[in-house]
A and B are shown apart, each in its own frame.
Chain A
């Protein structure tokens, strides 16, 4: 019934509900994301955008319904395999979630260490990714000495360094000036060009307009579709 009938889709949600106690954050969500799609999920604050992303990487379990990610049925996945699921994603968190006691380099390297890569490879790869996002000069500083835009770029670097299949970005331009926002958008586009799937949750209309991609709107936990009525 919930086989991935569509070979080209990488994420599917079937009648997904999520409540926090009696609060309904998501109601009957159906979603199909194709491989190499660049998708925006928008809607007012409190609509359920962040919650939807969290369900995808099992940041939280669904209350009802089924979620498939790249052939994995999230309601059947064993605890042991959750790390495998998470390595399919590169996640850019709204609050960056950089480790404050680790340098920029170590923050990014962590992803590769966790997947058991060799020291030499990590050294090279992390440097090259940090060069791509344009902060190779700040490689040995702690995150709190970086500006918001720079921290966001480190977060992007950490999201892409493990070459994940999917990038999830939650309000990636939230508190950034428009120049920094452009840099982030271009980095995401770059990842997409190389074959990756990107899902961005944002209420930033300017960003959506500039990107010009498929956008789905949420409102009070319900999927409205491609128009924000």
Chain B
């Protein structure tokens, strides 16, 4: 094993420029992919935070008598995924509105009748706070006969989710392309090394070297390149992240912008992936160019 390792390291040194280019290419791919991942995990956190605040407002049809309210409330509470149902009478709503519109409350004073409906303010349990779940629940509530309308700020959240999904898709596509590019680069490096060593490999075979003896150093070499590329890519992302986040935090401290770096599991996973890129590139190259 030690001799395999020494031969692999010697190969990397002998082909210094080629190895450097390979490692940098892998590092760049990893940097781009993990930057995407970083963006998405943080955006996801923000989205979750917003979703947590989602409430459904269910407005009652006018003219429903007060004695029916507890019954309606019970019906709503019976829907799966609902945590809390809070009755807001039209008077209460009117007060709230006045509160919010202090300066312009004179406009409201001009109204001789309260135009607001009675409503229920409904919050969801944690597992039902995603966009789709909320929509599902809202539809159920809306179908109740005494409910006129529901509102849950779905429009912007939905639009945002759609854009977000589009970005995510682009991220996956880009990740896929960069993955293939990195594999290709490794494969090409190994191909060139095989080419420069073809005489040596031939002689090794003639003196009785096994295929394993010949191949293992190539694998070690490309896995080392993959690992180094992965570590450098993540390190570069970390530095960039630190620079940007310290600037942002100086600017404005916001609960929403509490951005975090990738979790250790996540970036270790990315480095593992990068090692796999090395292995795969080598495997493809050996399969193609090192026929016994």
Contact = CB atoms under 8 A, between A and B. Distances in A.
A100 B199 contact: yes
B132 interface: no
B209 A101 contact: no
Interface residues of B, number: 16
B2 A114 contact: no
Interface string A98-123: 11111000000011011100010000
Contact of B208 (A83, A93, A99, A101): A83
B210 interface: yes
Nearest to A122: B3
A194 interface: no
A110 B210 CA distance: 12
Contacts of B208: 83-87, 89, 111, 114-115, 162
Contacts of B144: none
Contacts of A83: 205, 208-211
Interface secondary structure of B, over-half rule: helix
Interface in A72-89: 79-80, 82-87, 89
B206 interface: yes
A181 B27 CA distance: 56
Contact of B204 (A85, A91, A114): A114
B236 to A, nearest CB: 34
A89 B207 CA distance: 8
A144 interface: no
B158 interface: no
Contact of A119 (B2, B204, B211): B2
B267 to A, nearest CB: 37
B203 A114 contact: no
Nearest to A164: B208
B95 interface: no
B168 to A, nearest CB: 47
B207 A79 contact: no
Contact of A99 (B2, B203, B205): B203
Contacts of B195: none
Interface residues of A, number: 27
B210 A97 contact: no
A83 B212 CA distance: 11
B292 A79 contact: yes
A86 B199 contact: no
A146 B204 CA distance: 21
Given A79-B292, A114-B213, A97 B206 contact: yes
Contacts of B2: 119
A110 B199 contact: no
Contacts of A86: 205-208
Contacts of A59: 206
Contacts of B151: none
A161 to B, nearest CB: 10
A109 B247 CA distance: 58
Contacts of B203: 97-99, 110
B200 interface: yes
A175 to B, nearest CB: 20
Contact of A91 (B199, B206, B210, B292): B206
Given A83-B209, A83-B210, A110 B204 contact: yes
Contacts of A84: 208
A57 interface: yes
9 contacts: A79-B292, A91-B207, A97-B206, A99-B200, A110-B209, A114-B204, A114-B208, A114-B210, A119-B3
Interface of A: 57, 59, 79-80, 82-87, 89, 91, 93, 97-102, 110-111, 113-115, 119, 158, 162
A-B pairs with lowest CB-CB distance, top 5: A86-B208, A114-B209, A87-B208, A83-B210, A83-B208
